[in-house]
Each structure stands twice: as structure tokens, then as C-alpha cells.
Structure 1
Amino acid sequence: MTGKHIVVIGAGYAGLSAAAGIGRGPNQVTLIAPERRFAHRVRQHEIAVGRRVSRPEVSHVLRGRKVTHLATRVVELDLAGRKVVTEDGERIAYDTLVYALGSRTAWSGVPGAAEHAYSAENAEELHRRITGAPAPGTIAVVGGGATGIELATELAEAHPAWQVRLVASGPVGGWLSQRGRAHVLSVLGRLGVRVDEAHQVTAVTAAGLETAAGPVPADVVVWAGSLEPHPLAAESGLAVTDRGQAVVDDRLRSVSHPDVYVAGDAASVDLPGIGHLRMACATAQPQGRYLGKLLTGRTDKPFAFRYLTQCLSLGRGEALVQLIHGDDSMKPRVVTGAAGRLVKSVIVHVLPLSLR
């Protein structure tokens, strides 16, 4: 691939890792993403309570690599003409495209959610809303997955005068082992979080939530539902699943456009013995690193991956490290307390350093 122009779009865990890796090779590499600093997505719950989070500059991550960073947004893909179109109208030609635009919080068609709720992407706005309130009230966090649990525990610990309610359609932490879920519920209880399970949210209003089990009054609503891939892949004509993820082969190459590789939450990756990879930094970053090797000739093997752990922050003093099998199924053993917190802390601090 010597002499090729490789364009990478997206500077998340997958895109930045891919650009840094490809930049070690002989080709011209352009990274297109509006962020000038790495958005450390797995620490948004900390930003939501005003904690300072280390976010390295993109230029620092790419230092010593042959990569040009264009701090703008891609709004269109011309797949037939092999060009990307930026928000200022520039058309940039490529020989190979790495599509890594990732995912965003899905509002799931719930009326009023986008208008009245804060998502994890709006963590700084959420912090200003809570700290600027004239008096404490009720915060309703919607979603019993990892993001909802981390936000609920962090908010409850940082703002003990506020009543935090965690509202979920199913069991909170229901995917965890029995010990893991029990620990999560124990910490939530200790922090005074009210857990409302079997509450399917049907609407969000200025007064709080409407659910199938009845209204949940709230002064602030935080939406921590499922994720959805960026729609540009589907809009541009890449072959995608019903969920909108690009369909790729065993080398993360688009099955419809062989000059396009897809990594991270934007890709629908299925592996033998493991199944469909979930959207997570734990799966995105290895895909980006793999493409960095593949597109510089340092490997020609198919993409391989196995899960190791799942980690949850439960405020500053607690965490859960859930041990899992390589196929993402739960082992009974968990690590909690100070040891769990140390493991989680090491992981989130090492992640930005390992992007290169």
C-alpha cells in the first residue's frame, strides 16, 4: 500500500488508535475529526460531577506519526468517487478510508427525551444544571446498564442532598453475575439511590418521567439508554445491519466497498466462538490497533479478540471488576472495594496512553 492516501474519520478509541498505527507506515494519512483533545468517553460520569479528567491532545497522541489532523467534521461520503466531504465543503480524496465515527446515545423514539433529558455526551451541561440549581431536588437516571449505574452512583455520592433515582425497564445490572449484581445494588442502596426496575419509560416531560408503571417526578433527567451507531454509514450507502452498523469481513473491511475499513462501534463484528462484539471501548480500541497493523503490513491475519473483564465505577470509593470468559459470559468471581477501585483506575488511566 506504499504511496496511498489513507483517510481516517473519527478520533475516538478506534479511530485515534488506527490513525496512530497507520501513521507508522509509508503512506500519507489524514485524520478528520473535530476534536482537538481525546474524548475519554468512559469517564463522562466523572465529568458530570465536575471532576477534572485527563484528555490528551490529539496532536500529542499522533506525535512522531506521519498523520495530518484536520479538525473538522465529515458530513458526507462519496463512496463512488472515493471522497469525503467536510462541513466546510472541502472534498478530500482517499485511496483507503477507515470509518470510525462510533456511536451516540439513542433516544429510542421516546417523546420528549431529546428535549428534556441530558445524555452522557452532555456531561458538562448536566454538571452546570445541578450545581446551578437553587435547591436540591430529584435526579432520575434512565437506564440500568453500565452507563446508568456509573452515573447514578457518581451523582449520588457527589450530591448527597439530591435524591437520585435509577429507573430501568429491566433488572439493574442484570447481565452481571449474581455476585456482581448484588454488589451493585448494595452500593446503590448505601448511597441512597432509589432503584425502580420494570419501569419502561414512555415519555420525558419537564416534570420528569412517564412510565408504564406510573409517573416518576424529577427535576433533572439523565438519559443513559442504549447506543446507536452514527447514521452516516447507512446514509452513504455502506452495507449495514438493521441496527445501522457497517457489515465487515474478518479483516474489518466493508463487504460492499472493499476500499473502506470500519472499526469500533460503527462496525458489526462477529467472531467464531464469541459472537457479536458489543459496543465498548474494550472492543473498539483493539479494532483500531489491528487496522493500524493491517494497513501497514505488520499483520495479514484476520482480526481476533477475547474479552477479559468488565469494570464499573461505583463512585470514588467503590468499583466492580466482573471477571468474564473470553466470549463475554460471566464468571462468578468479582473484585470489589479498594482492589476493584484500583483496577478500574489503572484501566481508565492507561487507556489514553495505549492509543499509540
Structure 2
Amino acid sequence: MNATAAQRHEVLVLGAGYAGLSAAIQLAARTRKRVDLRVTLVNPHDTFTERLRLHMTATGQETAAMSIPELLDGTGAAFVRGWVTAVDAEAKTVRIDDDRVLHYDTLVYGLGSVADTVTVPGVDEHAHTLDGPQDAALLADRLTRLDDGGSVVVAGSGLTGVEAAAEIAERHPRLRVLLLGRQEPGATMHPKAKAYLDAALARLGVAVRSGVDVSKVLPDGVELADGSGVPAAAVLWTSGTRVPPLAAAAGLTVDERGRVVTDGALRSVSHPDVYAVGDAAAIRQGYGVMHGTCQGGMPTGVHAALSILRVLAGKEPRPFRFGYYHTPVSLGRGDAVVQFTHPDDSPRRVVLTGRRAAKYKETVSAAPWATFARMKRMPASGALWPHGGRHTRTRSAK
């Protein structure tokens, strides 16, 4: 079949995180023999960011560098390197930072989230984040230059904060690490898992203060909501995330956090030619709105790809269904705790700890590469184009 550029259906995928890359590889691999559809992936960097391992990068440990063009190789997808600066949902165009304008017929919006450095004064100026390899490398360099006994405050007692605090304490035992947050670390875990996590933090020398709010980050510490101060030679901010304002500026319907509100098939409720995936989307399930993790991000990307195939085949897309399975948490290199969960993310009694849990966590962290490889081997469209993708209840890795 021949197709001119005017006849070709252009699918543009914004963001090469776990969700966006899954959507691009899945869709391109299934349609690579077709000339009437083109998939283009846009991302500011040409290397994939393993967000699951950024706490390792932040302590000077090397992780594998994965080339996005190499991951796409053989699928037929094109790659454009650039920062997205604007989306025009009416004209169906995307502008990137070198002033190129890209046109689309179908858009997959997967620009993800970053640390919220805006809400609390001083975070942007004085705190480190784990938004990407460069940010993590800056913290790694800072930690090596601190004097013995220097204090490192990790603000945010969620899972990112716990993993980072444990990693810093293990790799830099000469430093004092303080984990601050509103909730106790592991507050949503089964008591057995929480007790193990607490003991591991204590063994590593991580001090914990819960029930506190940071109201300001200063050059030499943090100020708490009660007016007291906590001195620190370095501050790592892991408390809260925000999404880029591009979706709202484009006129897409968004929630109070700026995430694209989707229907059951992951389409924007205001612009059905736009699919939203991963952290950028407010995806409602029976138990509530999904929270952003690789565990849920990759399945949203796959489902968006299969939904696009069904729509182009003249069929209705199937509803997205997702249930959580586990919460794996690193506690340094040789230790971890894995909390297995019900589909609504509430804890089960089943818990894995110690070296077995660390091995499990490492397997989970490496799982995306095997998944991407399997996607690339998907049969090219043929019968899949008219029939669409097979729907399954999605349960995946963290």
C-alpha cells in the first residue's frame, strides 16, 4: 500500500519515560510494515532515565545508559530530540525548543512529573532533587564534598525519600542523615513490613522525624512549620510532585494537579484524539485515581497503543483496568522490603525482606528492558490492524 505524507496518519508520543516509551514501541512494532501510519517519539534527551535507580546515581553508583534510538531500532518509530514548549490541541501541533512545529493526528501525552520545587519557598534555589541523572549527579558530587559529620536532610518520607535516605546512609556512613516527613516511613505498609523498614533505617543510622512540615528551605538547612529550624549541609527534596502546565495551557481538561483527565480508554475527556499516560494522566479506577509509578505507567502506555489501533480499525477502544501488585523498597544495596498488595494498593499480609527482597527488587528494576524487548518482537500489523489488540487485566512491575 502506498501513502502520501498527506494521507499518512501521524502519531506523536511526547515523553520517553516508562509510559511514553511503552506506547511508542508497542504501537510502532505492531505497525512497522505499514506506510500509512508513522510513530514519532519526542524527548529532550536521547538516553532513557531509569527513575527506579536515581537514588543509586545520587550516591555515585554507575547505572546502565540506555539509548532511546537503540531501544526504538527495528520498530520503525522516529525519534525527535527536543523540549516540548507548547501544544496546540485545536491545530494539532506541538512546538519544540528549536522552534520546529510537529503535526499530529493522534497525540500520546506522557510528559510525566517532576519534584514540586514551587510550593515551598527556597526549594528551587537550595534543595537537590531526583528528577533526572543530571540532578542526581549533582547531589552525588555534593555528598562527596561534605565534611565528616555533615548533616543531610531528606525532606519527604515517601518511598523515594526512604530509598534515598537509606542509600546515602549506606554509601556515606560518615554523614548524618535525617528523614523528615508528615507521615512515618512505610505508614501504608503492613505492620510487619513497616517494622522491618524502621529497623533497617535505624541500623543504617538514619534519624527519622515524622509529623512535621517543611515551610522553607534555607542555604544552611530547613525551617519547619512550627518555626523551628533544622541545620543541614545538603537538602534532598522528595516531597510532592507537579506536572508541566502544557496540558492546561493547551486547553485540555485537567485535574487540580494539572494532570490530563481521561476517559476509560485513556483518552482526554475534552480532546479524544489525545491519549494521556503515566504520571501526566488522572486515570480513575474503581479504587480511585492511580498514583504515578512504573508499575502503572508501562501498562497505560501499552493500553494507549492498543486503543489507537482499535480506533484506527473502526472499533471502540476497551476500558483500561489496572490492579497494583506490590511495593518494592530498596534499603541499600543488599537489603529491601517488598510489600505485596491488593489491587487497590492496600497492603496484604505477604511481605518479603532481606536479601531475597533485594534480589526481587533488582529483578523488578531490570524488568522494563525485557518488556521493551518483547514489545519490539511483536508481530507487525497484518491481522492485528483490523482486529486491534487483545485486552488483558494489567498487572505489572513497579
TM-score, normalised via structure 1 length: 0.96
Mapping of residues 61-76 of structure 1, within 5 Å:
61-76=71-86
- Residue number in structure 2 paired with 1:52: 62
The Cα shift of 1:73 comes to: 1.2
Cα displacement string for residues 37-65 of structure 1 (whole angstroms, at most 9, x for unaligned residues): 11001111000011111231111211111
The Cα shift of 1:333 comes to: 2.2
Contact 1:21 1:291 in 2 (8 A): no
Cα displacement string for residues 72-131 of structure 1 (whole angstroms, at most 9, x for unaligned residues): 111001111111011111111111111000001113521111111001121110001111
Is 1:242 the counterpart of 2:247? The answer is no
Is 1:18 the counterpart of 2:35? The answer is no
Contact 2:150 2:175 in 1 (8 A): yes
Name the amino acid aligned to 1:163.
R
Tell which deviates more after alignment, 3-12 or 166-175: 166-175
Equivalents in 2 of 1:220, 1:352: separation in Å? 33
- Residue number in structure 2 paired with 1:184: 197
SS in 1 for 2:48: coil
SS in 2 for 1:243: coil
Identity of aligned residues (%): 36
The Cα shift of 1:177 comes to: 1.5
SS in 2 for 1:5: strand
- Residue number in structure 2 paired with 1:211: 224
- Residue number in structure 2 paired with 1:322: 339
Equivalents in 1 of 2:66, 2:349: separation in Å? 36
- Residue number in structure 2 paired with 1:103: 113
Equivalents in 2 of 1:67, 1:277: separation in Å? 28
- Residue number in structure 2 paired with 1:232: 246
Equivalents in 2 of 1:156, 1:336: separation in Å? 19
- Residue number in structure 2 paired with 1:220: 234
Aligned length: 354
Equivalents in 2 of 1:231, 1:181: separation in Å? 36
Change (3 A) 1:319 1:328: same
- Residue number in structure 2 paired with 1:304: 321
Is 1:9 the counterpart of 2:14? The answer is yes
TM-score, normalised via structure 2 length: 0.86
The Cα shift of 1:351 comes to: 1.7
Cα displacement string for residues 195-221 of structure 1 (whole angstroms, at most 9, x for unaligned residues): 111121111111201113521111000
Is 1:354 the counterpart of 2:371? The answer is yes
- Residue number in structure 1 paired with 2:288: 275
SS in 2 for 1:295: helix
Contact 1:248 1:268 in 2 (8 A): yes
| Structure 1 stretches of 4+ moved >6 Å | none
- Residue number in structure 2 paired with 1:115: 125
Name the amino acid aligned to 1:211.
L
Higher Rg of the two aligned structures:
2
Equivalents in 2 of 1:324, 1:133: separation in Å? 39
- Residue number in structure 1 paired with 2:394: none
Equivalents in 1 of 2:86, 2:333: separation in Å? 41
Query: Which of 351, 364, 367 is 1:334 aligned to?
Result: 351
- Residue number in structure 2 paired with 1:29: 39
- Residue number in structure 1 paired with 2:395: none
SS in 1 for 2:320: coil
The Cα shift of 1:135 comes to: 4.3
Tell which deviates more after alignment, 289-298 or 339-348: 289-298
Name the amino acid aligned to 1:58.
I
Q: RMSD of aligned C-alpha atoms? A: 1.5
Return 5+ residue gaps in structure 1 as ranges: none
Query: Which of 274, 284, 288 is 2:297 aligned to?
Result: 284
Equivalents in 1 of 2:112, 2:101: separation in Å? 22
SS in 2 for 1:315: coil
Equivalents in 2 of 1:47, 1:56: separation in Å? 14
Is 1:127 the counterpart of 2:140? The answer is yes
SS in 2 for 1:175: coil
Tell which deviates more after alignment, 279-288 or 106-115: 106-115
Contact 1:169 1:201 in 2 (8 A): no
Cα displacement string for residues 259-294 of structure 1 (whole angstroms, at most 9, x for unaligned residues): 11110101110112x321111111111100112222
Contact 2:325 2:342 in 1 (8 A): yes
Equivalents in 2 of 1:235, 1:118: separation in Å? 28
